Copies of this chain bind each other. A is one copy, B any other.
Amino acid sequence: MVNQRADVGWQSSKSDSSGVSNSGESSKESSRCSTPVLDADRTDRLRDKMKRRIESGDHWFSLEFFPPRTASGAVNLISRFDRMGSGGPLFIDVTWHPAGDPGSDKETSSMMIASTAVNYCGLESVLHLTCCNQTKEKITAHLNKAKRLGLKNIMALRGDPIGEDWVEEDGGFNYATDLVKHIRCEFDDYFDICVAGYPTGHPEAESYDNDLRHLKEKVDAGAHFIVTQLFFRAETFLRFVKNCRAIGITCPILPGIFPIQGYHSLRQLVKLSKLEVPEEIMQVIEPIKDNDAAIRSYGIQQAVEMCKVLLASGEVPGLHFYTLNREVATIEVLRQLGLWAEDPRRPLPWAVSAHPKRKVEDVRPIFWASRPKSYIYRTQDWDDFPNGRWGNSSSPAFGELTDYYLFYLKSKSPKEALLQMWGEELMNEGSVYEVFTNYITGQTNPSGHKVMCLPWNDDPLAPETNLLKDELEKVNRRGILTINSQPNINGKPSSDPIVGWGPAGGYVFQKAYLEFFTSSENVTALLQVLKKYEPRVNYHIVNVQGKNITNAHEMQPNAVTWGIFPGREIIQPTVVDPVSFMYWKDEAFALWIEQWAKLYEDESPSRMIIQYIHDNYFLVNLVDNDFPLDSCLWQVIEDMFALLDSPRETQEEGSQS
């Protein structure tokens, strides 16, 4: 009678149409393991994500990078990952250059860059691996290390033989197929495997057909998808796909897109890859070969047009971009194609890490909101991550953060730029207040520089914080040195461009939060004032020695961000946790010294000013629990200043009452 499964929207349970006791049995199992995860993307393997996107007809893109040569290049690449990650790539991949010690712990190694992309930037990442001239032991060691670091995808390549006299070894790794087989044999189904396809045939292959057969062997050995070498005409790729399908290759085949970005880089690439640039392209480029801007512009236009043809063919589920570690051209092509996610849906208000260990993680203390990489680093050894509730987590202590030099924790700005922003010379505490105020307002300082970052915030003000700009400016000017804040939100749609997160159709909420450094004189007055705001306002006030004053009930965490969604349990991704705050304060105070004081000479007045603040100021956080009303936190600060401005007797009177 009831038309089951007739509709896409319906899902039948496992116990569907089975008998009574049977339904009980199947239910038992699902009850045990149903840890809800907000975003299926966090648990799915890359192959499953592709499958879902193909089924829904939702085109994707991916981005290829090569490892940087220098430490500062690594810092730049990581912030590029963050910027390009916001456009919503399905995955990124990192190339492997055997000569560059790619599996080492060096900050510039392929292994470390890919690990950082996964763990700290939250990007689904594919690590390239070449097998030519490598022992099985060495390869297995690389794969074990990759697995340990949370990498789940490998691009299996032969790599270029070193020297001219290379000959096939019996039982060695002679072809990418051998590597695919080895990965399957040693790691079973753990890794998703990608292999390379050559739309015009591999330059060393005996023939195009022979090369296609090799590709079929690679896929049959266990590869999950194919990324192709670059090409210049859509029909080249489409013919290649047709031929692949004809011999029974059924997995996704992703075209490698190379937006031409300059005359010389094009010639070099063509030489290396032994490709021929079509005559019609050369005819356009040759006359403008000294005009970089014109070539870039042509490259973008050419790539966009080719991609449009590819996507329209129905044979192309996603596009793979050879970025050459640059962002402008690729982003522009993606924008014109409508694939760049201008307003990426955030599954949670903070960027999630892509390490499989963290796939259930959905609660974090608010303190690291502007330093998520530090939080990930300090919790990397946890076995379990808090899920549902912070308090339920059996999380061990936070790791120490003494390694401020780690490339994913380093400021993007060099020392000279920091001095220009924060002052070559500080006169007094007021100079510091000015730096904070200029960061909030975005105005230039007396030496003509904008303050783009602070030790606690490596990026300009978040759009959400911008909502509080006027109030923040006012209080920073008077020595309430704010480092973290959020407005209260009483049920905005989850699609809200500024404060929204989570699945569609939901509502998000926040309690107003304010965190700042301030002098001990201010704290004395503040405590006086806070009595009036019990129990509406929760506070934690701590100095560098760990002296801790709070009204937190039984030291329980306070949820300050939460969301309600159709068909799900409540998500509360951010808490003010009293215990974590004690760890955070160590880091927050240390940043005064590590990032700011150390810019100046020992014993210099500037350094001593920062040192004084570090030694004497308090770190304060305030939560206004009454989220449906206008935040009272600004009033709290105003009351504090009013008390400080009042005649002495009034203050004493106040403290008697």
User: Which residues of A are at the interface with B, using a C-beta cutoff of 8 A?
Assistant: 1-4, 7, 9-13, 15-20, 22-24, 27-28, 30-32, 34-36, 40, 387-398, 490-491, 504-505, 507, 509, 520, 523-524, 527, 531, 534-536, 538, 541, 544-559, 562, 564-570, 572, 575, 578-580, 582-583, 586, 618, 623, 625-628, 655
Cβ–Cβ contact B389 & A9, under 8 A = no
Cβ–Cβ contact B556 & A567, under 8 A = yes
Residues of B within 8 A of A35 (CB): 391-392
| Interchain CA distance A550-B507 in the complex, whole Å | 23
Residues of B within 8 A of A548 (CB): 12-13, 15-17, 23
Cβ–Cβ contact B388 & A555, under 8 A = no
- Known A-B contacts A28-B396, A30-B579, A391-B35; the reply to A23 vs B567 at CB < 8 A is no
- Known A-B contacts A505-B536, A566-B538, A582-B15; the reply to A34 vs B531 at CB < 8 A is no
Residues of B within 8 A of A579 (CB): 13, 27, 30-31, 34
Residues of B within 8 A of A12 (CB): 548-550
Residues of B within 8 A of A24 (CB): 397-398, 582-583, 586
- Known A-B contacts A397-B31, A566-B538, A582-B27; the reply to A555 vs B13 at CB < 8 A is yes
Cβ–Cβ contact B566 & A625, under 8 A = yes
| Interchain CA distance A545-B21 in the complex, whole Å | 10
A320 nearest CB across to chain B (Å): 30
A630 nearest CB across to chain B (Å): 15
Cβ–Cβ contact B15 & A546, under 8 A = yes
Cβ–Cβ contact B545 & A17, under 8 A = yes
Cβ–Cβ contact B568 & A570, under 8 A = no
| Interchain CA distance A90-B490 in the complex, whole Å | 37
- Known A-B contacts A9-B531, A19-B546; the reply to A568 vs B555 at CB < 8 A is no
Cβ–Cβ contact B557 & A27, under 8 A = no
Cβ–Cβ contact B507 & A11, under 8 A = no
Cβ–Cβ contact A391 & B569, under 8 A = yes
A379 nearest CB across to chain B (Å): 11
| Interchain CA distance A655-B6 in the complex, whole Å | 10
Cβ–Cβ contact B586 & A395, under 8 A = no
18 contacts between A and B (CB under 8 A): A2-B547, A9-B551, A10-B550, A13-B555, A16-B546, A24-B582, A32-B394, A32-B395, A32-B396, A34-B557, A36-B391, A40-B554, A505-B535, A505-B625, A505-B626, A538-B566, A556-B569, A562-B564
